Amino acid sequence: DSIEKGGYEHFMLKEIFEQPRSIHDSMRGRLIAANNHLIMGGFREYENKFINAKRIIIVACGTSWHAGLVAEYLIEDLARIPVEVEYASEFRYRNPVITEGDIVIAISQSGETADTLAAIELAKSKGATIFGICNVVGSSIARASDAGAYTHAGPEIGVASTKAFTAQVTVLTLLAMIIGSKRGTIEDSKLRQLMIELENIPAKVEKALELNEKIVEISEEFKDAPNCLYLGRGYNFPVALEGALKLKEISYIHAEGYPAAEMKHGPIALIDENMPVIVIATRDSSYEKIVSNIQEVKARKGRIIAIVTEGDQVIPAMAEYVIEVPETSEFLTPLVSVIPLQLLSYHIAVMRGCNVDQPRNLAKSVTVE
Ligand code: G6P
């Protein structure tokens, strides 16, 4: 057991630290920026379907659903195809409108989640094309799909998903770039720049992992909190949801992820001097807006932990704790900004004495409906 954990105390920590490698592996053979090489084997056969798709529906559960939300932003931004992201369990039971031109992307680490499998069977019966993104080779969802792309995260043992999430986002980013380039919705120069930046992500994740010690200190401070609020906008909104999910899954602290601007329609009522508020506020197109959201939290004495871009001069003056992550393209932000949130939930859970690799009531793969 200790050999399998490679010297780490838990599988989850090992898997968090494997991410520079698993992200790299998920783009290997698919992206070489210097050669202008961007391909995805499973995509080729269905290229025309993707180019002409009127809409894409993404179905998934849990953390994979959060990767799907990131993909909605990516595909709409880069490929200009309308995207809907559905919880597989809702989609399959609500008589959805599905037509033959639709493409359904199913995202699943295990490839065995019963609701996701049933959702794609339903979509298939209505004539949609199914593109599967799975981590486990030969899994049920991979086999039930018309085409797809594997993430190459390697086996994920910790119940709380970490490296599978970043691998999914990596593959979905490549997919959005490929569809966009085929549809002519991304300028060549922008595409090239993104290719280079995506290749640099493993090194940036490596750098973000150096925050570990600092996050141990912050975890010490907040480990006894009964509640926690996670806020983000744009590409960091799904990251806020994922950060909150990680914390509740393994530390049993009640946590909510929210779009920062929606805070004023409810969660703001919860904020007082005891409420930790984790704001993911990297420098992107919604930066100014999220700075004002931080002011709103501060005015109500919330305890602010801010994830910012390296060198930020404004937010550190407003937040109690600041975590600086390397700068990257806005489109790729989730791959970097999620890292400190994984570490934060891990350390808090360990300090609370929780079984991080096998949290109570949860299963790695939910094969029942
Ligand atoms: C379970 C796991 C989660 C996972 C979800 C979806 O709830 O505990 O970590 O995100 O299932 O699993 P999948 O294998 O379909 O990605």
Indicate if the pLDDT at residue 188 is higher than 90.
yes
pLDDT band at 56 (very low <50, low <70, confident <90, very high): very high
The residue type of 55 is R
What's the pLDDT tens digit per position in 77-109? 999 999 999 999 999 999 999 999 999 999 999
CB count, 10 Å around CB of 296? 17
Question: Is there an atom of ligand 1 within 6 Å of 109 CB?
Answer: yes
Atom of ligand 1 nearest to the CA of 62: 10
pTM: 0.97
Gap from CA of 367 to ligand 1 centroid (Å): 10
Gap from CA of 340 to ligand 1 centroid (Å): 20
Gap from CA of 140 to ligand 1 centroid (Å): 14
Indicate if the pLDDT at residue 252 is higher than 80.
yes
pLDDT of residue 368: 87
CB count, 10 Å around CB of 130? 22
Instruction: For a ligand 1 pocket test, name from 66, 70, 107, 110 the mutation site with the most ligand atoms within 8 angstroms of its C-beta.
Output: 110
Phi, psi of 308 (to 5 degrees): -125, 170
Instruction: For a ligand 1 pocket test, name from 115, 355, 364 the mutation site with the most ligand atoms within 8 angstroms of its C-beta.
Output: 364
pLDDT of residue 138: 97
Gap from CA of 366 to ligand 1 centroid (Å): 7
Gap from CA of 271 to ligand 1 centroid (Å): 31
Question: Is there an atom of ligand 1 within 6 Å of 342 CB?
Answer: no
Question: Is there an atom of ligand 1 within 6 Å of 88 CB?
Answer: no
Among protein residues, the one whose CA lies closest to atom 5 of ligand 1 = 62
364 is catalytic: yes
- As a whole number, the mean pLDDT across the chain is 97
What's the pLDDT tens digit per position in 272-311? 999 999 999 999 999 999 999 999 999 999 999 999 999 9
Residue 77 and residue 348: Cα distance in Å, rounded?
Answer: 35
pLDDT of residue 369: 83
Indicate if the pLDDT at residue 2 is higher than 80.
no
Question: Is there an atom of ligand 1 within 6 Å of 314 CB?
Answer: no
What's the pLDDT tens digit per position in 313-341? 999 999 999 999 999 999 999 999 999 99
